[in-house]
Amino acid sequence: MIYRNPIIAGMHPDPSICRVGEDYFLVNSSFEYFPGIPVFHSRNLIQWDLIGHCITRNSQLTIRKGFPNETGTFAPTIRYHNGTFYVVCTNVTYGGADDGNFFVWTKDPFGEWSDPVWLDCPGIDPSFFFDEDGITYYIGTASGQIYLCQIDLNSGERISEYENIWAGTGGNDPEGPHLYKYNGWYYLLISEGGTEYCHMITVARSKSVKGPYESCPRNPVLTNRSYGLSIKAVGHGDLFFDQNNNWWSVCLGIRPISYPYRHNLGRETMLVPVVWDKDGWPVFGRNGLLDEEIETDRLPLTDDTCEVGLFPDMVLDDFRGVLRKEWNFIYNPIEGAVELGTEGLSLQGNSVSLSEADSLAWIGRRQEHHVFYARTLLYFDPQNEGEEAGLCIYMNNKHHYEIAITWVNGSRILMFRRQIGSLWKVEQQIPYEKMEVEFFLNADKEHYFFGYVKGYERIVLGSGETAYLTTETGGKFTGNYIGLYATGNGRACCNKAVFKWFEYVGK
């Protein structure tokens, strides 16, 4: 059987996984996007369903505004213990409200999660380890060191001092620690080299949970640095074994679109087979390398498995009932800004524009394919100068392209605009009499193409290079989103924008 990486496409970094019987549950970082910390379920490790999020209520967590692509929920870890699922995570707010490490829990990962339990533990990238003697350990990253301490799961209280246990092999930014016990050894898995092109996974082990830890002689045990492989920046992994006692790892990686390397989908979730050598060290992938295409007979396949390694390549949303789980807001959502009804999805534009790092009347879904086609039917009747609603490709508030209906000098127009850093320009605008328009967005590896439908004709209004909407050009930790939005650009909109349906087709 051959499967292809990534197993979860689009911006899904820092994967962590746990197994309960034949069910697998996986979580990712989500940063400033809300709901936060997506939760996936699978029974075969290849086909994953988004079943919910850990952070679904504004009352749970405040996401700091004003720092695009670098605040919010970082590097969650999911673990199962005594009938309860725990997700421990960092909320990065740079000293703002709800800053620091916390955990949430649930008995049912398909349902709601608890309010956060806050932890007196510094740093980032937290993890839990439940030892055989009943002690719960917190493992974290602070000041270039991996440390551990004991915590009380009921209160979140720290009940021991911090103890540094390893600093890695000398690479910068040792982080993302996970602790396991196997064949009498404690194994510590971390990442080094920064979450860029020198990213790598290293392993150390000890007979005592507190160390000293000896480094694997083959470190790094997984990295694609300096190799001409299609997947780059491999790192931040989690180890686990399936119901057949086969070992695996999930990790992040990127798929660049050009040379010099640039990527626009963000860091994605990959799956790596793992075996143990005669000396008791893990061997990841192809002798420490991660391939895009992997052949294996070890997948825990179920009877309902029909296709392996294919992303959902078509989504048609008529916005009836509840909002689909793949839609996100930027920051905590504004009450009343989004409504679902018989007409479709209504957005009540506020004064915040696409160029501001603030709560927009905006919903978006991750770009999951380099080549895709998206379209939407919009009804909008702008009344005042500056009111607009439309379809955008969005990396952050300083890097985005959009097509919109707007009002200029007493007339309704269609507009295509690009913003790249501090530079922005309305590239095209044409008169438009109707209040309803079908917009489309096509993408390949080089360009995003925006246009509208007139009768049976598809008219391209403008295009923008993908290279300017990449992490290397203007981003930090997230990938691109396809967004629907409404704004008054300094004032509230008089009328709501109604998106009657949305379609996404990936190739």
Give 29-41 pLDDT, tens digit per residue.
Answer: 999 999 999 999 9
Q: Is residue 100 part of a domain?
A: yes
Q: What is the pLDDT of residue 312?
A: 55
Give pLDDT tens digits for 44-73.
Answer: 999 999 999 999 999 999 999 999 999 999
What does residue 91 show for φ and ψ, rounded to 5 degrees? -105, 110
Measuring CA to CA, which residue among 91, 108, 88, 109 is closest to residue 34? 91
447 pLDDT above the threshold of 70: yes
User: What whole-number distance in Å separates Cα of residue 349 and Cα of residue 406?
Assistant: 12
- Cis peptide bond N-terminal to 220, omega within 30: yes
Looking at the domain assignment, is residue 305 inside a domain? Answer: no
Does some domain include residue 55? Answer: yes
User: How large is the C-alpha radius of gyration of the chain?
Assistant: 23
- Asked if the structure places residue 177 within a domain, the reply is yes
CA distances 176 to 254, 337, 426, Å, are 17, 36, 42
**Position 107, amino acid:** K
CA 159/CA 140 separation, integer angstroms: 15
CA distance 68 to 358: 9
Whether 302 maps to a domain, the answer reads: no
Instruction: Choose the catalytic residue: 14, 32, 381, 387.
Output: 14
Res. 302: pLDDT tops 80: no
pLDDT tens profile 238-275: 999 999 999 999 999 999 998 999 999 999 999 999 99
Q: Decide if 308 is inside a domain.
A: no
338: which 2 tokens?
Answer: 């989004």
Residue 476 DSSP code: S
Q: What is d(CA 453, CA 471) in angstroms, rounded to the nearest whole number? A: 31
Per-residue pLDDT averaged across 375-400, rounded? 97
Catalytic residue list contains 444 = no
In whole angstroms, what is the distance from residue 268 CA to residue 231 CA?
10
353 and 217 fall within a common domain: no
Average pLDDT (132-139) is 96
- 32, 175, 192, 402: the active-site residue: 175
The residue range of the domain holding 288 is 2-295
For the chain, what percent of residues have pLDDT higher than 90? 95
Residue 442 three-state SS: strand
* Whole-angstrom distance, CA of residue 423 vs CA of residue 419: 6
Q: The domain that contains 347 carries what CATH number?
A: 2.60.120.200
Give me 10's structure tokens.
């689009």
State the pLDDT at residue 32. Answer: 98
What pLDDT, in 10s, does the model give residues 156-168? 999 999 999 999 9
- Strand pairing partners for 273? 248
CA distance 242 to 290: 19
Is 474 within 8 Å of 355 (Cβ atoms)?
A: no
**Do 279 and 416 fall into the same domain?**
no
Question: Are 362 and 243 within one domain?
Answer: no
Statement to judge: residues 49 and 90 lie in one domain:
yes
**Residue 394 and residue 260 share a domain:** no
The pLDDT tens digits for 343-362 are: 999 999 999 999 999 999 99
Higher pLDDT, 314 or 151: 151
Check whether residue 288 and residue 348 sit in a common domain: no
Q: How far is CA 412 from CA 280, 407, 432, in A?
A: 69, 5, 6
Specify whether 331 is located in the same domain as 276.
no
CA distances 450 to 434, 444, 461, Å, are 18, 12, 6
Is 303 within a domain? no
User: What does the pLDDT average to over 111-126?
Assistant: 97
* Residue type for position 504: Y
- Specify whether 183 is located in the same domain as 273: yes
| Spatial contact of 236 and 248, defined as CB atoms under 8 Å apart | no
Domain count for the chain: 2
If asked whether residues 261 and 368 sit together in one domain, one would say no
Q: How confident is the model at residue 150 (pLDDT cuts 50, 70, 90)?
A: very high
Q: How far apart are CA 325 and CA 206, in angstroms?
A: 42
Tokens (6 digits) for 223: 């990295």
CATH code of the domain containing 142: 2.115.10.20
Domain end (from 295, 326, 351): 295
Q: How far is CA 364 from CA 153, 258, 378, 423, 479, in A?
A: 35, 25, 15, 23, 12
- Which tens digit of pLDDT belongs to each residue from 189-229? 999 999 999 999 999 999 999 999 999 999 999 999 999 99
Whether residue 231 is found in the same domain as residue 320: no
Q: What percent of the chain has pLDDT over 70?
A: 98
Q: How confident is the model at residue 305 (pLDDT cuts 50, 70, 90)?
A: very low
Question: pLDDT tens digit string along 140-149?
Answer: 999 999 999 9
Active site residue 14: yes
Q: Name every residue whose Cβ is closer than 8 Å to that of residue 298 and which is 6 or more positions away in sequence.
A: 242, 244, 246, 273
Same domain, 217 and 329: no
- Same-domain pairing of 248 and 135: yes
- The burial of 110, by beta-carbon neighbours within 10 Å (0-12 exposed, 13-18 middle, 19 or more buried), is given as exposed
Structure tokens at 474: 């203007």
Question: Virtual CA dihedral for 190, 195, 196, 201, nearest 10 degrees?
Answer: 10
Q: What is the pLDDT of residue 310?
A: 47
pTM equals 0.96
Instruction: Give the pLDDT mean for 434-450.
Output: 98
Has residue 300 been placed in a domain? Answer: no
